[in-house]
Amino acid sequence: MQQNTAVKYKAIVMGGSAGSFSVVSKILSNINPDFKYPIVICMHRLKHIRSGLVEGLRLKSNLPVIEPFDKENIEGGKVYLAPSNYHMFIEIDATISLSTEEVYNHSRPSIDHTFMSAATSFREKMVGIILTGANKDGAMGMREVHVRNGYTIIQDPATCDVQTMPNASLQLFKPNKLLSPQGITDFLNSL
Amino acid sequence: MAIGPTINDIKEITAALSLKLKLDYTNYAFSFLRRRLALIYCTLKIKKTETFLEDIQTGKVTQDFCYFFPVAEDELFRDPSFWRSLRTKILPALGDNLSFWFPELVSAEELYSLLIILEEEKLTHKAKIFCNIQSCQRIEELKQGKISLKNIEIHKSNFKRLELHSKFEDFFTEDNAYAVIDEGLMQNVAFLNDNYFNCIPNQQIACTLFRNRMLYYNGKMQCQSEKYLHQCLGKGVFMVLGIKEQISKENELLFELFDNSEQIYQVL
């Protein structure tokens, strides 16, 4: 496990439901301002509300938070938030591609889609983190990250408002770490 | 049991499709091709890639492919603020030329949204709408004027956000599991049964609706498409992209941004 943290990552990919906003805010407000990896976040959100979430995260975050356009490059030290009503995929050339394909797991954006594509593109050179949430979206994607030897972190269900999402992942594989929000922040700051 | 295509399968399939349908499928975004072809393998119960390739060459599956491959829009008035902009900013700027073009229409929702806005503004009789659609089955469905009631609450919620004078029920009647649009709204719609690289409208267009279509292209094909559309459209013609799309850096001198938040451009 220690070996994993020594390799260079291409991205940190995080997923959670709408209720994970406070956890994501906490992590981004305590992350080192010189954090060098890109952070890609897929959070369930209201379909028809285009603004508010990214502005809210910008207020808290030590890193710039971007709601990316299609085909935008992923760069280190920036946070990329999946736009409302679009799925967000990570391509092999480290660009973002968006899609209006069918709703998946009752969600668009779907966390599974983001994790699956990131796992395919980055394989062992990514960290996948699943946070608190009220449905199973993200569990299959996190399993794919695990299968492709990415580093996996599940928010400790004991620290979650709703445990469905982390528990669904725990039923599919054993993660590298089970951490509280503060533990996740400390881990990221140690990279 | 259906299988999914491998990387080599995808290369062979897209090459065969490009030849057969005269559109460069090799330059769709690769991850999209992988997902979409996997869906087609599953839907059409394809068991062998060799058989699928033969069926493409003979034309046996091309209509099915044209039906299932493009991503259908599933909301009427997706991004209501765009449709408000169309009504309050674009329509007043068009003058007498009310000709619209959907270079790659897939589903009814996008077309019917435009038709309702035109009817609200009492412009239906003056407008002409051209729609390129590769699937014959899609064209027949669109002509029937039906949309599924599955997403009716989303449709109505988006409609409410438009703050029109009319009611949703003024445009649709319910028929079993469908809402059927008033057929009078369809009077000036023309369907072109080919892709937009091979067939374009036979009159000057004033506004092109191309929302969320280039998401599925790779960068090379997006550039080609933008250049081609720039050539087809005259100076000042509106071109609308999805709210999370942008004209590529390579072609940014060909278009001028008209509305930044809705990604509405005008040809330079």
Mutate to test the interface with A, among B31, B73, B76, B81 (most CBs of A within 10 A): B31
CA of residue A63 relative to chain centroid, distance: 15
Mean pLDDT computed over A106-131:
96
Decide if B1 is inside a domain. no
Q: What's the residue count for chain A?
A: 191
CB A51 within 8 A of CB A83: no
Domains parsed from chain A with CATH numbers:
2-190 (3.40.50.180)
Q: How far apart are CA B191 and CA B138, in angstroms?
A: 10
Active-site pick, A20, A44, A87, A110: A44
The fraction of chain B above a pLDDT of 90, given in percent, is 91
A38 cis-preceded (ω within 30 degrees of 0): no
Decide if B2 is inside a domain. no
Q: Which of the four pLDDT bands, split at 50, 70 and 90, describes residue B176? A: confident
pLDDT for A3 = 47
Q: Are residues B96 and B215 in the same domain?
A: yes
Residue B54: partners with Cβ closer than 8 Å, 6 or more residues away: B60
Q: How far apart are CA A155 and CA B228, in angstroms?
A: 49
pLDDT for A6 = 53
Contact B71 A48 (CB under 8 A): no
Q: Are residues B39 and B88 in the same domain?
A: no
Q: Are residues B21 and B87 in the same domain?
A: no
Mean pLDDT computed over B97-117:
96
Q: How far apart are CA B230 and CA B243, in angstroms?
A: 19
Q: Which residue in the set A47, A50, A98 is minimally distant from B215, CB to CB?
A: A98
**Nearest chain A CA: its distance from B215 CA (Å):** 6
Running DSSP on this structure, what letter comes out for residue B96? T
Running DSSP on this structure, what letter comes out for residue B86? I
pLDDT for A2 = 47
The fraction of chain A above a pLDDT of 70, given in percent, is 96
pLDDT surpasses 50 at B243: yes
Strand A65-66, strand A87-90: pairing: unpaired
pLDDT surpasses 80 at B3: no
Decide if B55 is inside a domain. yes
**Nearest chain A CA: its distance from B148 CA (Å):** 15
Q: Are residues B56 and B84 in the same domain?
A: no
Q: Are residues B152 and B224 in the same domain?
A: yes
Q: Which of the four pLDDT bands, split at 50, 70 and 90, describes residue B8? A: very high
Q: Which residue in the set B31, B71, B244 is minimally distant from A69, CB to CB?
A: B244
pLDDT surpasses 50 at B1: no
Closest CA to B258 of B244, B245, B239: B239
pLDDT for A8 = 83
Residue B14: partners with Cβ closer than 8 Å, 6 or more residues away: B25, B26, B28, B33
Decide if B221 is inside a domain. yes
Q: Which amino acid is at A125?
A: K
Query: Is A44 known to be catalytic?
Result: yes
What is the residue-wise DSSP string for B10-42? HHHHHHHHHHHHTS-GGGB-HHHHHHHHHHHHH
Token pair recorded at residue B149: 């009631």
B94 lies in which domain range?
80-267
Q: pLDDT tens-digit profile of B46-55? A: 989 999 999 9
Q: Is B225 on the interface with A (CB under 8 A)?
A: no
The dihedral of CA B189, B191, B192, B195: what is its sign?
positive
Decide if B246 is inside a domain. yes
- State how many domains chain B has: 2
Q: Are residues B88 and B208 in the same domain?
A: yes
- What mean pLDDT is reported for chain A? 93
Give the CATH number, domain containing residue B209.
3.40.50.150
pLDDT surpasses 90 at B87: yes
On whether ipTM exceeds 0.90, the answer is: yes
Decide if B75 is inside a domain. no
Question: What is the largest distance, in Å, between two alpha-carbon atoms of chain B?
Answer: 56
Mutate to test the interface with B, among A73, A92, A99, A122 (most CBs of B within 10 A): A99
Query: Is A146 known to be catalytic?
Result: no
Query: Is A84 known to be catalytic?
Result: no
- Per-residue b or e along B218-242, where b marks 16 or more CB atoms closer than 10 Å to that residue's CB: bbebbbebbeebbebbeeebbbbbb
Strand A11-16, strand A126-130: pairing: parallel
Q: Which residue in the set B74, B80, B219 is minimally distant from A71, CB to CB?
A: B219
Strand B178-181, strand B172-175: pairing: antiparallel
Number of cross-chain residue pairs from A and B with Cβ atoms under 8 Å apart: 56
